[in-house]
Amino acid sequence: MGLALAFAALVTTPRLRDAHADPLAAVGGEAIEIAAETLEVDARGGTAVLTGHVSLVKGDLKVACPRIEVRYDDAPRVTWARGSGGVTADIRGVHAEAPEVDLDLGRHVLELRGGVRLTRGQGWLQADKASIEITTAKVTLKDVRGAIPVGAPKP
């Protein structure tokens, strides 16, 4: 119920995307901060849908997209989120773009699908799927291709 009240407070904020949202739930010692233009909450079902310039921030992780569906428990703590409609995610210098993303907060894993592009510095990789461990920024890719810069040979 506490999360539903926090969501209700967010809904009444006139231009939510321009406002810095208060932390909604602590997971692993860090709060999740969200912002959006519109929010719909199903308090009984433990779900919420945020739409319009949605951003989600948890520590070093920043996710932006047009829509995020959220599941939360009774504590209330966000346990899972799915972003769609063209997602960008940034974590510790890695920039990712994909049509969809799932954020599993129990496992601390971000999973991107539908044709993923990762960039860091001058390097880039494309893959069907990518998984990023939030705590370590370890990246695992499936069906990957790309370009990784190399240093000039030493004389």
Chain segment 134-154, per-residue pLDDT in tens = 888 888 999 999 998 887 766
User: 91-111 as b/e, with b when 16 or more CB fall inside 10 Å?
Assistant: beebebbbebbbbebeebbbb
120-128: long-range contacts, CB 8 A cutoff, minimum separation 24 = 120/93, 120/94, 120/95, 121/93, 121/149, 122/149, 123/147, 123/148, 123/149
50 and 32 Cβ atoms separated by less than 8 Å: no
Span 71-130, pLDDT tens digits: 988 877 888 999 999 999 998 888 999 999 999 988 999 999 999 999 998 899 999 999
Vertex 62 angle, CA 79 and 131, to 5°:
65
Q: Which residue has the higher pLDDT, 99 or 29?
A: 99
Q: Is the pLDDT of residue 3 over 60?
A: no
Least confident interval from 30-34, 49-53, 55-59: 30-34
Tokens of 59: 């520590």
**Residue 26 — pLDDT band, cuts 50, 70, 90?**
very low
Which domains does the chain carry?
A: 2-147 (2.60.450.10)
Query: What pLDDT is attached to residue 11?
Result: 34
- Report whether pLDDT(23) > 60: no
Q: What is the pTM of this model?
A: 0.74
**Please, which contacts does 144-147 make with residues 24 or more away whose CB atoms are closer than 8 Å?**
146/118, 147/123
Residue that has been written with the tokens 């989600």 in this structure:
56
Q: Cα angle at 23 between 41 and 60, to 5 degrees?
A: 115
